[in-house]
Structure formats: C-alpha cells, structure tokens
Amino acid sequence: MDIRLGNGFDVHAFGPGDHVVLCGVRIPHSQGLVGHSDADVGMHTVTDAIYGALARGDIGQHFPPSDPQWKGAASEIFLLHAARLARSMGYDISNIDCTLVCEFPKIGPHAAGMRAELARLLDLDADRVSVKATTSERLGFTGRGEGIACLATAALVKP
C-alpha cells in the first residue's frame, strides 16, 4: 500500500465585502477576503494539501493567478481538479484535516456545513473531513483581524 501525506498553507487578507467564502460556505461578514479567485482560503489550502501529497506542485502552478480566466473563479474548480488528478494517479483520498486561523468570523456555527461541502465535492463520507478553527490569541496579522490563515493535511492511499 502506498500512503502519502500532503500539507497546505494559505492566507488571504480582509478587504471590501459583505461576506467570506470558507470551504465552500458563504458566511455573512463585515468584510470580504481579497484574492485572484473567490479567495476561499480553506478550499485553497485543502487543494494544495492534495497537490502536495501527489508531489504535483501547488495551486498557482495549475491555475496561475496571472491568467485572467481564473479571476473570480470558484475555488471548487481547483479542488475538483486536484481530486481528479489524485484519482487518475490511482489514489483515494483517505481523509482531510483543515484548520482555519482567525479571530472572526466565528467558524464553529459553520463548521458542519463546511465539512459537508468538502465531503460532497471530494465524494467522501463527512467523517473523513475535519474542519476546525483556532485563534492566534490576538497575535500576528490574524490576531489583529487583518485576514485569515489556514493549514490542511490530506492523506492519500493507493491500494
């Protein structure tokens, strides 16, 4: 059996807007996240974790921000590409663990929806997808409320 682990990390700054999209879930908020695509920091991080496990670069290599076709793109496009690539290489996604780092918005009320959306997109049981959050104890850019950071791990298995 071939088991691979990959990790992902991403950050997005807050900017103008009235909501954020995290792990595919739209959350009303006094600000939005700034990015070339829809700035879904959670989904970007999970995508990079899958690419990392496959040793296939990162999201920017597959979907360059210099390419205008990805401006405002839904991040599920990137996640589905990574999942299809994993399966085309003979891997099943065993599980995903995603940690959002922010002072706000509060993630807890939305975590189940985020898990469900990632599980749906990845064709996994929800008990194989973890979405959780922590603060940075008011330290650093996340602690000052300037943006959101995210870390994720993906485990892939080839029988």
Token pair of 141, please? Answer: 């850019």
- Write down the pTM of the prediction: 0.96
DSSP state of 123: T
**Sequence ranges of the domains in the chain:** 2-158
CB-count burial class (<10 Å; 0-12, 13-18, 19+) for 83: buried
75 touches 44 (CB < 8 A):
yes
Write the CATH number of the domain with boundaries 2-158. Answer: 3.30.1330.50
Instruction: Spell out the residues 6+ positions from residue 151 whose beta carbon is closer than 8 angstroms to its own.
Output: 7, 8, 9, 45, 98, 99, 101
Q: How far apart are CA 50 and CA 152, in angstroms?
A: 9
Token pair of 70, please? Answer: 């990805």
Q: What is the pLDDT along the chain (159 residues), one digit of tens a residue?
A: 999 999 999 999 999 999 999 999 999 999 999 998 999 999 999 999 999 999 999 999 999 989 999 998 999 999 999 999 999 999 999 999 999 999 999 999 999 999 999 999 999 999 999 999 999 999 999 999 999 999 999 999 998
Question: Torsion-angle region of residue 117: left (phi > 0), alpha (psi -120 to 50) or beta?
Answer: alpha
